[in-house]
């Protein structure tokens, strides 16, 4: 076992969790000891080093901290809000919750049964190293259950705040979302940090089931500052005629690795997934997506775009796997990257594996610099070269931002990203 | 306004302009006609300073300044405007933001303050009416999904907002139906003034029915081979260019 594995095991024993979760945790602790620690030779970790975790071991659990409010602004959305600070639930900053949204520790017997039915099951079998760790580390979690036929009128908004800790520290986050048949909901996950020098390692795992004819809008925003180390994953099962519209965004940091594992398990399921990554300075972002079509007549439309600046590094690995039974699949995957510096680096790998013969699939990845024709056009109107570069860079991701379905999320992101690109935000708002 | 003297220019090692001379005074409208490949678009690109167009000899004075000493953006701020034959689509950059950035760049260059968002919106809305462009086009990406006619009207809109002293229209009539052609021509005619000059680059005489030029030049083999009044355009329409090209060799 690596140093980190040893230490993680110790941390696991320090966690207190509801008794009914002990079985899952104990099994995970056993599995964790057998896990092969990823190195550069591990295919899915080829470009992402975990050396910083090994070097700067987050050897304790992060503790609550109340000096974060001035640094963190929430998405202005009328929502069921749950706020966690360094992994600890902050009731005062959270809103009153409906019966369908509970912490694991407060789940009633019926809810415990549903949690046990799904927790760790959606992720199972995919041998995700950090999912095993998340199971072993689990002390708490959020359970969102949308009962059959119900439509949540307000989004569920989960905010995870990371602050400075006296020593490098760890945080474990878990979210389970279950949409029963014919239900609808919107879930926003928002990771954010205070502006100080952060030293938190976050392991955040989300499991989602979208039931027959159910519809989910899901957002996962990774806006933490650059010293955060974040390993996160979203594992989803889509059942018959389920629809999921997902959007994810990540600023870079010292370690930021996000996996999406989405399974089409019921016929007629539809997935729309869009992502944006924006590493700068010496930051990195690594997105691994894996969409599996197990059954016929499902649709995937996946678009990721990244702008890599300065000496930053991005990794995008997008896989779509069409199993032999999955006839009449429609799947498209597009990944476009813009490098704005000679030192910026991207490793992109779209993978399409098709084992059915009657499918329509397309995939593509591009890496480019700004269009010289577009730059010339802007300059010919008096706009300086540097401003033109910024406008075009922002435009490259703004195309995706404009398609974000939740206006509150769009309104939150646009001005913040505009500032990142030095754009005039009042005009962006007015043009809207 | 503009004096081009003995201009030679290359594109990708191919000599396109070969000793071009042209003088344009304030308030004049000059049409430049000529066969394909004569160097008409090259002239526009050289004037606006596009990368890849290498000037090997000659000089251009623009409002008593050496044009080659100015960058593309400085030329624009000094009042040179090129309406593109193929306006560029830039998805994700709103037309409004683009227009404001260009107007502000020019204002700053001339020591004026930037317009507030409110002031600019008002100006942009009024101006877009003048070219019959729906306000919705201000919110869209620059030229994104615009029809050929909408793109050209957007060029004229930019011209009106920037109030240049020299306007170069590079085949603005290509791909336009009669209605759009009239809107574009009306826009240009509205802007004609004793302080403002125009270079209208076109293949066809048609546009010149609407924008009546003071001079018509024929550009062939990289040089102006004939200059005349507006009747010359009619003569060209009838006889084609071949007789002039033969003369020019």
Q: Chain B residues with CB inside 8 Å of A396's CB?
A: 92
Inter-chain residue contact A424 with B105, CB threshold 8 Å: no
pLDDT at A59: 86
Query: Is residue A157 in a domain?
Result: yes
Query: Is residue A68 in a domain?
Result: yes
pLDDT at B37: 83
- Whole-number Cα distances in Å, A230 to A158, A255, B176: 16, 6, 54
The structure's pTM equals 0.86
CB contact set of A83 (below 8 Å; sequence gap of 6+): A89, A90, A93, A94, A159, A161
Q: Give 3-state DSSP helix, strand, coil % of chain B, rounded to 5.
A: 40, 30, 30
Inter-chain residue contact B51 with A383, CB threshold 8 Å: no
Strands A345-354 vs A330-339: parallel, antiparallel or unpaired = unpaired
Mutate to test the interface with A, among B45, B83, B90, B96 (most CBs of A within 10 A): B90
Of the candidates B93, B26, B23, B35, the one whose C-alpha atom is nearest the C-alpha of residue B249 is: B35
Please, what are the averages of pLDDT over each run of 10 residues along chain A (432 residues)? 88 92 94 90 90 84 86 95 96 96 97 96 81 95 98 97 88 97 98 85 97 98 92 97 98 95 98 97 96 98 95 96 97 95 93 95 90 95 92 91 95 88 56 45
pLDDT at A54: 83
Query: Is residue A217 in a domain?
Result: yes
Query: Is residue A368 in a domain?
Result: no
pLDDT at B247: 65
Per the model's pLDDT, the better-predicted residue between A13 and B242 turns out to be A13
Question: Strand, helix or coil at B117?
Answer: helix
State how far Cα A70 lies from the chain centre: 25
Find, in chain A, the residue whose alpha carbon is nearest to that of B144: A399
Find, in chain A, the residue whose alpha carbon is nearest to that of B125: A431
Inter-chain residue contact A385 with B73, CB threshold 8 Å: yes
Nearest to A376 among B72, B77, B105 (CB): B72
Q: Chain A residues with CB inside 8 Å of B137's CB?
A: none
Q: What domain range is A14 assigned to? A: 1-40+64-233
In chain A, how many domains are there? 1
Restricting to A residues 118-147, those with a Cβ less than 8 Å away from any Cβ of B are: none
pLDDT at B59: 95
Question: Quick one: DSSP state of residue B131?
Answer: T
Query: Is residue A239 in a domain?
Result: no
Do B211 and B185 touch, CB atoms closer than 8 A?
Answer: yes
Query: Is residue A79 in a domain?
Result: yes
Mean pLDDT confidence for B78-103: 94
Query: Is residue A161 in a domain?
Result: yes
Mean pLDDT confidence for B224-243: 88
Question: Strand, helix or coil at B218?
Answer: strand
Inter-chain residue contact A377 with B139, CB threshold 8 Å: no
Query: Is residue A98 in a domain?
Result: yes
């Amino acid at each position: 076992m690596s140093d980190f594995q040893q230490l993680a095991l110790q941390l696991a024993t320090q966690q207190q969790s509801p008794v009914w979760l002990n079985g899952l945790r104990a099994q995970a602790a056993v599995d964790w000891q057998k896990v092969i620690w990823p190195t550069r030779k591990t295919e899915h970790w080829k470009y992402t080093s975990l050396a910083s975790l090994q070097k700067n071991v987050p050897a304790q659990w992060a503790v609550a901290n109340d000096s974060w409010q001035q640094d963190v602004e929430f998405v202005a959305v009328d929502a069921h809000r749950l706020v966690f600070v360094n992994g600890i639930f902050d009731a005062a900053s959270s809103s009153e919750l409906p019966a369908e949204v509970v912490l694991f520790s407060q789940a009633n017997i019926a809810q415990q049964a549903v949690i046990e039915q799904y927790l760790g099951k959606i992720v199972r079998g995919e041998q995700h190293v950090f999912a095993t760790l998340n199971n072993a580390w689990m002390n708490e979690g959020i359970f969102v259950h949308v009962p059959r036929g119900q439509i949540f009128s307000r989004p569920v908004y989960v905010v995870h705040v990371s602050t400075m800790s006296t020593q490098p520290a760890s945080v474990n986050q878990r979210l389970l979302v279950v949409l029963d048949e014919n239900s609808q909901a919107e879930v926003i996950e928002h990771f954010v940090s205070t502006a100080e020098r952060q030293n938190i390692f976050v392991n955040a795992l989300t499991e989602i089931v979208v039931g027959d004819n159910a519809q989910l809008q899901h957002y996962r925003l990774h806006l933490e500052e650059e010293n955060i180390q974040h390993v996160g994953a979203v594992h989803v099962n889509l059942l018959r005629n389920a629809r999921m519209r997902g959007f994810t965004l990540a600023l870079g940091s010292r370690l930021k690795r996000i996996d999406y594992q989405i399974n089409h398990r019921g016929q007629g399921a539809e997935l729309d997934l869009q992502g944006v990554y924006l590493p700068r300075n010496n930051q990195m972002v690594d997105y691994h997506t894996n969409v599996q079509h197990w059954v016929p007549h499902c649709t995937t439309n996946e678009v990721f775009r990244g702008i890599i600046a300065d000496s930053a590094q991005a990794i995008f690995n997008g896989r779509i796997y069409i199993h032999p039974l999955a006839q009449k699949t429609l799947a498209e995957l597009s990944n476009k990257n813009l490098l704005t510096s000679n030192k910026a680096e991207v490793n992109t790998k779209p993978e399409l594996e098709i084992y059915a013969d009657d499918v329509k699939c397309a995939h593509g990845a591009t890496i480019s610099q700004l269009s010289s024709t577009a730059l010339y056009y802007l300059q010919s109107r008096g706009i300086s070269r540097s401003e033109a570069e910024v406008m075009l860079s922002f435009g490259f991701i703004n195309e995706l931002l404009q398609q974000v379905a939740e206006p509150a999320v769009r309104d939150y992101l646009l001005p913040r990203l505009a500032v990142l690109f030095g754009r005039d935000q009042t005009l962006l708002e007015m043009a809207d | 306004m503009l004096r081009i003297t003995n201009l030679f220019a290359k594109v990708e090692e191919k000599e396109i302009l070969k000793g071009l001379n042209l003088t344009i005074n304030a308030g004049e409208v000059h049409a430049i006609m000529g066969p394909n490949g004569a160097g008409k678009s090259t002239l526009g690109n050289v004037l606006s300073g596009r990368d890849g167009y290498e000037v090997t000899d000659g000089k251009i004075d623009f409002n008593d300044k050496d044009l080659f000493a100015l960058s593309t953006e400085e030329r624009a701020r000094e009042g040179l405007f090129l309406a593109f034959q193929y306006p560029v689509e830039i998805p994700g950059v709103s037309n409004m933001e683009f227009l404001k950035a260009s107007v502000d760049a020019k204002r700053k260059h001339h020591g004026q303050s930037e317009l507030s968002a409110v002031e600019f919106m008002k100006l942009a809305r009024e101006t877009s009416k003048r070219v019959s462009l729906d306000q919705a086009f201000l919110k869209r990406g620059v030229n994104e999904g615009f029809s050929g006619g909408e793109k050209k009207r957007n060029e004229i809109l930019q011209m009106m907002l920037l109030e240049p002293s020299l306007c170069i229209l590079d085949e603005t009539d290509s791909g336009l139906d009669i209605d759009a052609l009239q809107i574009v021509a009306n826009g240009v005619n509205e802007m004609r003034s004793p302080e403002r000059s125009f270079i209208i680059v076109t293949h066809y005489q048609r546009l010149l029915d609407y924008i009546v030029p003071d001079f018509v030049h024929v550009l062939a083999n990289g040089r102006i081979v004939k200059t005349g009044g507006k009747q010359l355009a009619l003569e060209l329409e009838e006889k084609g260019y071949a007789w002039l090209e033969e003369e020019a060799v």
